Structure 1
């Protein structure tokens, strides 16, 4: 509490169905920084020093929040016993987790951010998570790199791409429910954080409800079945408590064809309270996940076989086999010491995470592309032929594809009947070992002042390689690059066998330290904070193969890449009254490029992105909050600019500068995000609530970046390429094109009925629009206008014709209706709940995102390909799920 005050409100928070005290419940005066927790007896006493009309908010994990209007006149207010009802909507989080799983089903499909929003009570953010999330909506257009996720105070974001890997604790919903979330630029007690928001997952057994819980689920989304069991012991007289939890999730195939799902998770934690202020905790988490992947598809393919089609699988001996699987098993062990007193808290922790992350794929060497959607196998190839359309062949290709649209495993085995393999199934493997040390402190000073501070150190050792997992009956694979006929490793054997490492092998090391300090001040109608962060980062690559194409810089260690960065953020809030207040936040943050965008082609050489810069993020938001007894809500306006961003992409190009698989490096790129958010909830009666949520955003490229392209040295024109295979393509004209960040317009209208007999039902109708596919930068560079045959500009490549050809069109707008309901029973101390949801009730077909292909690298090729209206290299799209359901039954005592 902030200093000495003249009065306070107090009471006891109890369970409405058992009359047991609720410890750890959070008590706040809405609009203020001051918050406290209930003690073991459920007691609280919160200070008030400003006569006014307030809403006292009482929240506890697993219970329906209660809001109590009070008018403080300078005296003590005794609220007596405050009873909280069990939140029968609590299992809705399980539904959200299936959405979170979806964002990681494909690495190519950029990850959304709904996983960060599980802990929030904000109306808009909950709509964004539970309803907009199925359409890959991103709050403010940000990806999950812009939010920090912590477990017991230790940050879990990866150094490789800056994002949290939710699969590392997937399936452990029972023990990850207690979360503290700070939205956007708001102050956090745990971290300086990012601009999206910050979540601390608190898994302490002392904060979980003692007893046993078992649940079973059925769904037709990423998995079809799940069972989960958790036991938390009561705190014993010696101060010891513990939790164990496990789950199993599975599917032969999910909603998308051929996407198997096989996952199990195990959790254990033991907490020992040394005395009233000190406790120790040990935590171990193992979450293993194996799943089949799927692909974005063109509209041509969608029109032939539908949005659930997946080209990566086929039948082998009557069973589904997917050529692209993703396997993650990265256990983590955490040790914590907690010191807690009235005015000072300190959480110090250390974690060690290890394991591997593997993605399989089918490689082909001097053999036909095995994918059934390869452009030469589709009707459009014959219609778009430069020598004229052949409709007979196109019709034959169409019929052949419809008759057998899946992977032909028997053909792969037949091609490998000789000693040398034409096809190889292999894993791209990443083995990470990461040590994290972290300490967070919170001090309450007199005179209304609060200070938070923290220090974090991360050290990563990463081993990266390709490993043969199936030669399909062949004796060996010849480890030679098929495009340049050069050895991938001059120091190793050319012939590689089952289980061997081949193609590439390198290590990455990274170390990062960061420190932050934050000061908060609250007095009468004003409160605010200011925070400062400093970070030091270094990366290095160590090549373990001597690649014949890069003799000078493939083997051994690269230069060390160093970054030193800072960040400032602050906010100020003013209470117009206890029920209306304003808040403004601002931030200026420098951050290092992630490892993913630091090395140009780490699989083959030590090359670093030229003129690599730290990114700069500047952001502001202005908020109005309304907290009436019947109506609550928020309206926000925000503006964010990302400057000096870097992006590295990989694809095959056929253009005037050469034809090959290339690495495209985009530098000096700015991005702009601005818009508004609205969330309102109105209580028509004690049983009926209405909610309205909406977002209108404008997310676009805000500069014209520089583009370089890196060839293997035999792939491009000799007079254009330098010794390292790099061509500077100049400036790409992309400014004002829309970003592919999910729908930029979203609205929801919801109604909920909650019966006193513990059943409830809700319906939400959603409208989403202004979604765009990601553009190809290589079609917007100066050489795009040049005819490779003549070296001159295409005669008809006028600015008008090019603009028409490259016009960015929004994806279709669409409506979604979601229904959710639940019922619970309490029988002799045993609690039973049923939860069910149906998403996309009317089975709407919609695209969630996509990307332009970069194969056609000049105007003539792209124009020719588009003449028929059915281009061979059309944009590829991801399609959302149709009608899906989720059913969960839970039993606890």
Structure 2
């Protein structure tokens, strides 16, 4: 990163802080102009009823961290229409949201340059990252915007006491619990592309100050922004609260978000410019109906029981017992041996699925083309408990456990024979004579709970399961006195992994070796209040993290990856916080190194790049696993808010990152049936980490025009955005040029208006209208390839080679919501 840019942000931050601080001092003390700002990040203490000891919020620790809190009100306003809850994060420094163009629930969050699999996401203290690969799929959490009381984004080391290594940061989702007051709410919303959503909730309140129930139900549906990206789903939430005595509080929560949505792939710029920015190469017509080969369908109910026990004046215990059951998967064209994919209409770009369907309907027999479903089922149970003890007035101690067990099942089944009679499977070692499959299964999240392939002879291409057991112990001391605080955290954990492969091995050899790995993390920090309203802090941490399950076994078989080592992460942070009556500012600097890591990426095979992998059918993906990667991330962040008068609030942020790869990596390429295609070595030294903007600036305001009516707008600018790297073979490095693909910078403006009207003492009517990307900016949000401008002498679009596979961002969208408090 250019050193001058770092200096500019640093000097600018302190200059602006000093200027606004002086302005606050000389400003009139008229109460209509000066408003007490209690804290730059809204306290969450009052939003919680249970689970305080296991929900690690910045408020709970006096030594500061880099954190941003997003309130329930902000979520309800910003996350409307077809947006994922990630839309609420877009105006946060060092946070980049991508992937929305893939369809409902397809967005991804990158924090300080680290993807979601390397950022911790907690639901009321319960980890929700996948235990096998660390990933988070927002389509499984479409109800989060309805049930969240707040979200706290902790960038970097965070305040979590769990034995987790949150390299990028920690996102704490604090949901509703059983509410104390009786009442309800109904809301209905509409948005572009025929989107509709309705929500109803009701709270009994606490009956006899002991028992209460809160419920919520939602239905949504829409056509999606891109062609052929329809979706539909429901959200449900129920919470039972019980307070048997003064010192005990219990709360049981059950929630889920069954959904299905059709997906859009990245496409080459050539196709997008020819067929339109909303083009979707997964689609074609059958009997006059547009269908999409790729659909995600899933249901992941989550249950947790929270128990808070005030043992004594200085001691408390908080425990959460949780479980989740995932059912569902994703569809796609079947590309096994002897199959072919539908051709395309060169005029429309749509697949000629009708021709293939008619041919198979007439001839019957074995399918040359079918829709398969890749199923990912799991059962997950866990326990998190934390004991807090106040040793002295200045010294606090926490200790606890984090226990988890996970069983995953992965296989392929048939979704649609597309006019044929059966599909022949001939390579299952447990069935050497092969078998024919005729049973098909619906891509419906409600059916997926129990209706999936349970017999081995209904499964094709692969069939395996895994067991992951995890146990961790953590502890923390924090000392706080007058103008000084300090803390130390430590955690140690053990993880065991085992795999059963029912497809590539005979029955007596289907079970893999059981692997065991230890990990640990250490964190410490201190802060000084150097003068009134001024505080500085420093944090440091070191993690030794066990490899994810998917990286311990090679080639999608039971072959043990003997070179897999614990990932090593070092994190350092410095920070400065200023807070006055109506202005606050946070400034952070960070440095993170990460060794022995494993990354993943994918490449869509098309007619133009099929020469790279001739055995792979166009229209399907090649997936890459890159091992031995080292990364170095450093950067600066600024976040501030200013309230010059009671009716106007201003906010701004900026972040500059310098994220690079170090050394070389071994890359393995696999097709969608998990067959190994190639192994290569690629030198990455000095290349930029892609998939997120390394330069970000933003500003926004909220202005109350008159009582009950307010307007707001947010502006953000993203630059130094690079395409994600795949592998040398993927990018045809010999001809594509050197370095990263740099995408054009872009800026966006979102705006909204809110009207609140008090109907009665208890009832309120709210109307909200949003327009995102007000000026309909056309921009490339991400790229999965790395072809340089001069590669193959191709044309360029805004300086980008048209052979690159990209997603355009959304153009102008809108949504409107009416909400009635009952």
With structure 1 as the length reference, what TM-score do the two structures score? 0.75
Counterpart residue number, 1:356: 327
The 1:697/1:94 distance shift into structure 2, 3 A limit, reads same
The 1:314/1:872 distance shift into structure 2, 3 A limit, reads farther
Deviation at 1:606, TM superposition (A): 1.4
String of CA shifts for 1:658-689, please: whole Å, max 9, x gaps. Answer: 96697754222101211111112222322123
Counterpart residue number, 1:753: 703
SS in 2 for 1:775: coil
Counterpart residue number, 1:494: 435
The 1:410/1:39 distance shift into structure 2, 3 A limit, reads closer
The 1:809/1:362 distance shift into structure 2, 3 A limit, reads closer
Deviation at 1:607, TM superposition (A): 2.1
Confirm or deny: 8 A CA contact 1:114 1:129 kept in the other structure. no
The 1:490/1:762 distance shift into structure 2, 3 A limit, reads same
The 1:624/1:773 distance shift into structure 2, 3 A limit, reads same
The 1:200/1:342 distance shift into structure 2, 3 A limit, reads farther
Indicate yes or no: 2:747 matched with 1:818.
no
SS in 2 for 1:671: strand
Residues of 2 paired with 1:505 and 1:255: CA distance? 35
String of CA shifts for 1:45-73, please: whole Å, max 9, x gaps. Answer: xxxxxxxxxxxxxx9966xxxxxxxxxxx
Counterpart residue number, 2:131: 159
Confirm or deny: 8 A CA contact 2:741 2:786 kept in the other structure. no
Confirm or deny: 8 A CA contact 1:825 1:831 kept in the other structure. yes
- 2:119 counterpart (138, 147, 152): 147
Confirm or deny: 8 A CA contact 1:453 1:516 kept in the other structure. yes
Counterpart residue number, 1:426: 372
Counterpart residue number, 1:640: 592
Correspondences of 1:693-772 after superposition (within 5 Å): 693-707=653-667, 729=680, 731-772=681-722
Deviation at 1:655, TM superposition (A): 7.9
Counterpart residue number, 1:310: 280
Counterpart residue number, 1:679: 639
Confirm or deny: 8 A CA contact 2:388 2:397 kept in the other structure. yes
Deviation at 1:413, TM superposition (A): 0.8
String of CA shifts for 1:486-519, please: whole Å, max 9, x gaps. Answer: 5576446432212322221111111111121111
- Greater Cα shift, 582-591 or 872-881: 872-881
Residues of 1 paired with 2:100 and 2:370: CA distance? 37
Counterpart residue number, 2:554: 600
Confirm or deny: 8 A CA contact 2:111 2:169 kept in the other structure. no
Gaps of 5+ in 2: 1-35, 50-68, 102-106, 441-457
Residues of 2 paired with 1:639 and 1:679: CA distance? 18
Confirm or deny: 8 A CA contact 1:290 1:326 kept in the other structure. yes
Counterpart residue number, 1:574: 528
The 1:688/1:342 distance shift into structure 2, 3 A limit, reads same
Residues of 2 paired with 1:444 and 1:623: CA distance? 27
Residues of 2 paired with 1:171 and 1:656: CA distance? 41
Counterpart residue number, 1:720: none
SS in 1 for 2:480: strand
SS in 1 for 2:334: strand
Counterpart residue number, 1:882: 811
Confirm or deny: 8 A CA contact 2:343 2:353 kept in the other structure. no
Deviation at 1:201, TM superposition (A): 3.6
Deviation at 1:779, TM superposition (A): 4.0
Deviation at 1:710, TM superposition (A): 7.4
- 1:628 counterpart (580, 584, 598): 580
Indicate yes or no: 2:634 matched with 1:689.
no
Deviation at 1:754, TM superposition (A): 1.8
Correspondences of 1:407-486 after superposition (within 5 Å): 407-416=351-360, 417-418=362-363, 419-480=365-426
Confirm or deny: 8 A CA contact 1:142 1:741 kept in the other structure. no
String of CA shifts for 1:579-606, please: whole Å, max 9, x gaps. Answer: 111111111111122123333332xx31
Confirm or deny: 8 A CA contact 2:98 2:782 kept in the other structure. no
Residues of 1 paired with 2:182 and 2:551: CA distance? 46
- Structure with the bigger RCO (C-alpha within 8 Å, sep 6+) is 2
The 1:555/1:887 distance shift into structure 2, 3 A limit, reads farther
- Greater Cα shift, 358-367 or 276-285: 358-367
Which of structures 1 and 2 has the bigger CA Rg? 1
The 1:303/1:488 distance shift into structure 2, 3 A limit, reads farther
Confirm or deny: 8 A CA contact 1:450 1:521 kept in the other structure. yes
Residues of 2 paired with 1:409 and 1:528: CA distance? 64
Counterpart residue number, 2:84: 100
Residues of 2 paired with 1:203 and 1:136: CA distance? 21
Confirm or deny: 8 A CA contact 1:701 1:738 kept in the other structure. yes
Residues of 2 paired with 1:692 and 1:623: CA distance? 17
Indicate yes or no: 2:243 matched with 1:298.
no
Counterpart residue number, 1:225: 196
Deviation at 1:407, TM superposition (A): 2.6
Confirm or deny: 8 A CA contact 1:585 1:621 kept in the other structure. yes
Indicate yes or no: 2:738 matched with 1:806.
yes
Counterpart residue number, 2:489: 531
Residues of 2 paired with 1:680 and 1:238: CA distance? 41
SS in 2 for 1:205: coil
Indicate yes or no: 2:480 matched with 1:522.
yes
The 1:269/1:748 distance shift into structure 2, 3 A limit, reads same
The 1:655/1:257 distance shift into structure 2, 3 A limit, reads closer
Confirm or deny: 8 A CA contact 1:192 1:531 kept in the other structure. no
- 1:586 counterpart (517, 528, 540): 540
SS in 2 for 1:355: strand
Deviation at 1:633, TM superposition (A): 1.3
String of CA shifts for 1:354-400, please: whole Å, max 9, x gaps. Answer: 1313100111454543263xxxxxxxxxxxxxxxxxxxxxxxxxxx5
Confirm or deny: 8 A CA contact 1:745 1:769 kept in the other structure. yes
Counterpart residue number, 1:177: 149
Confirm or deny: 8 A CA contact 1:220 1:884 kept in the other structure. yes
Deviation at 1:203, TM superposition (A): 3.9
Confirm or deny: 8 A CA contact 1:435 1:458 kept in the other structure. yes
The 1:407/1:736 distance shift into structure 2, 3 A limit, reads same
Residues of 1 paired with 2:692 and 2:160: CA distance? 27
Residues of 2 paired with 1:644 and 1:866: CA distance? 35
String of CA shifts for 1:259-313, please: whole Å, max 9, x gaps. Answer: 0111011111111101111022222212101000101011101110222111112
Residues of 2 paired with 1:292 and 1:346: CA distance? 45
Deviation at 1:249, TM superposition (A): 0.9
Residues of 1 paired with 2:281 and 2:42: CA distance? 53
Residues of 1 paired with 2:775 and 2:229: CA distance? 23
Deviation at 1:707, TM superposition (A): 3.8
Deviation at 1:872, TM superposition (A): 11
Confirm or deny: 8 A CA contact 1:217 1:227 kept in the other structure. yes
- Greater Cα shift, 458-467 or 605-614: 605-614
The 1:367/1:214 distance shift into structure 2, 3 A limit, reads same
String of CA shifts for 1:3-41, please: whole Å, max 9, x gaps. Answer: xxxxxxxxxxxxxxxxxxxxxxxx99869999975999x
Correspondences of 1:540-579 after superposition (within 5 Å): 540-546=498-504, 555-579=509-533
The 1:31/1:413 distance shift into structure 2, 3 A limit, reads closer
Residues of 2 paired with 1:472 and 1:762: CA distance? 50
Residues of 1 paired with 2:178 and 2:652: CA distance? 37
SS in 2 for 1:91: helix
Indicate yes or no: 2:349 matched with 1:405.
yes
Indicate yes or no: 2:497 matched with 1:513.
no
Residues of 2 paired with 1:875 and 1:244: CA distance? 47
The 1:844/1:202 distance shift into structure 2, 3 A limit, reads closer
Confirm or deny: 8 A CA contact 1:327 1:359 kept in the other structure. yes
Indicate yes or no: 2:807 matched with 1:837.
no
Indicate yes or no: 2:462 matched with 1:504.
yes
Count of aligned residue pairs for this structure pair: 729
Residues of 1 paired with 2:660 and 2:649: CA distance? 36
Confirm or deny: 8 A CA contact 1:124 1:677 kept in the other structure. no
Residues of 1 paired with 2:724 and 2:612: CA distance? 23
RMSD over aligned CA atoms reads: 3.7
